[in-house]
Amino acid sequence: MSTAPSQLSCEQLSSFSPMDFLTPHYRQQLQASLNYLQRPAGTLLLQKGERVLAQYYLLEGQVSVDDGSAKQRVEAGSSQAHLPLNPGPVNPSTVRALSDVRLFAVEHQLLERLLGWSQEAAYQVSSLGDGVMVEEHDEDDWLARLLSTPLFGRLPPSHLHALLARFEYVAVAAGEEVVRYGEPGEHFYVLKSGRARISLPSAYREQPALVLERGDFFGEEALVSGAVRSASVVMLEAGELARLHREHFVELVRPALIPRLDHQGLQQLEQGRRRHLLLDVRLAAEYRLGHLPESINMPVANLRTHADSLDRAICYVVTPEGGIRSELAVHLLNQMGFDAYLLGEATAVA
């Protein structure tokens, strides 16, 4: 058996197809999300015709690939092993381990999004509204930094063009209060230039003050939850904001911030043996009155304070009973770098 590294570097990942088409920035984002698996000889890895969420690649060992008309052997390290065992969301072949094997998996949708970004928005993005050209000169560019976040990495390229066409650009002065605690939210903001400070209410003053830099965004939580602003944001120096009105945020951004997983997708997670956890984010009293089997309770208010106790290798599926709170929980988990979905009918984001 060939010996593969415990985790692939970005350079090693580039030898696999179609990861060689990704720009280094997006390849690094993909590399951080890879899931590694080990299976003993004889294991049925993929069943022909089955729909799966991930694309699998062979790192160690040998497998048989049977498309129904012909059967072939694939060995790790060969040129064929640098192609996916199951290109596309439906398995074209049955794949079985002939020896102990090690594989890595990448989510189909994530790979498609990053390929789209690499092809359409890697170095320049044209705003369809006013013809303004935004160029990524380096990784500190405000737009590049925005798109590198877990949240906006989910946004399809077509939505990016529409998003830029609807952004308003507003100059702000040092000391200006952009949003105020307790007020309703009307806009989502991205810091295009300058620095700002998040000012928390007195009950949270023991927490360190957060400083926002170029490319950071704020104001989305009130738009996701429908609640009032949970903090104030004050400019530390003069700068410029990219501002998006609530209705455009709901249309273009919100669906990508709250990805959904239907019950069939949940079954595929279970059949694929990917580690996942059902999370109920209602209050403990509500949870005790009735909840989905195997779900655990963590109220949405505790997600930030208990984030260190959560395993980043697990996919978190939030149950829908919490309504808006469940949607907010999915947003918060993804914002903190976890892989999270809302259980319910999948929403297409084209």
DSSP-based three-state secondary structure for 41: coil
Same fold, 121-256 and 258-343: no
Residue 98 DSSP code: S
Alpha-carbon dihedral of residues 345, 146, 119, 334, nearest 10 degrees?
Answer: -30
Residue 125 has a pLDDT of 34
Q: SS in 3 state form for 188-229?
A: EEEEEECCEEEECCHHHCCCCCEEECCCCEECHHHHHHCCEC
Q: Where are the alpha helices (DSSP H) in the chain?
A: 10-13, 24-31, 108-120, 142-147, 157-166, 220-225, 246-248, 254-257, 263-271, 284-289, 324-335
The pLDDT of residue 208: 60
- How many other CB atoms are found less than 10 A from the CB of residue 235? 20
User: Which fold, 10-107?
Assistant: Jelly Rolls (2.60.120)
Q: For residue 4, what pLDDT is reported?
A: 58
pLDDT tens-place values along the chain, 350 residues long: 445 567 899 889 989 988 887 878 778 888 888 999 999 999 999 999 888 888 999 999 999 999 888 899 999 999 889 999 998 778 889 999 999 999 999 988 778 777 766 544 433 332 323 333 344 444 347 777 777 676 666 666 666 777 777 889 999 999 999 998 888 888 999 999 999 998 876 545 555 668 999 888 888 877 876 767 878 899 999 999 999 998 888 888 777 778 888 888 888 877 776 788 999 999 888 898 889 988 999 988 788 778 888 888 888 999 998 888 888 888 888 878 788 899 986 544 43
pLDDT of amino acid 345 = 65
**Quick one: pLDDT at residue 286?**
87
Question: In this structure, what are the phi and psi dihedrals at residue 289, rounded to the nearest 5 degrees?
Answer: -75, -15
How does DSSP classify residue 185?
P
CB-CB contact of 174 with 238 (8 Å): yes
Other C-beta atoms lying within 10 Å of the C-beta of residue 136: 19
pLDDT given at position 8: 92
Helix pair angle (157-166, 108-120), 10° resolution: 50
Residue 312: Cβ-neighbour burial (10 angstroms; 0-12, 13-18, 19+): exposed
Q: What is the pLDDT of residue 151?
A: 61
Give the position of tokens 């260190």. Answer: 308
User: According to the model, what pLDDT value does residue 51 have?
Assistant: 84
Contact between 322 and 280 under an 8 Å Cβ cutoff? The reply is: yes
pLDDT at 118: 59
DSSP state string for 237-277: S-EEEEEEEHHHIIIIIHHHHS-EE-HHHHHHHHHTT--EE
How confident is the model at residue 332, as a pLDDT?
Answer: 83
Inter-residue contact 232 to 179 (CB < 8 Å): yes
pLDDT at 27: 85
Pick the CATH number of 121-256 from 3.20.20.70, 3.30.360.10, 2.60.120.10, 2.40.50.140: 2.60.120.10
Query: At the topology level of CATH, where does 258-343 sit?
Result: Oxidized Rhodanese; domain 1 (3.40.250)
Verdict on whether the full-model pTM lies above 0.85? no
3-state secondary structure of 232: strand
Domain range summary for the chain, segments of one domain joined by + = 10-107, 121-256, 258-343
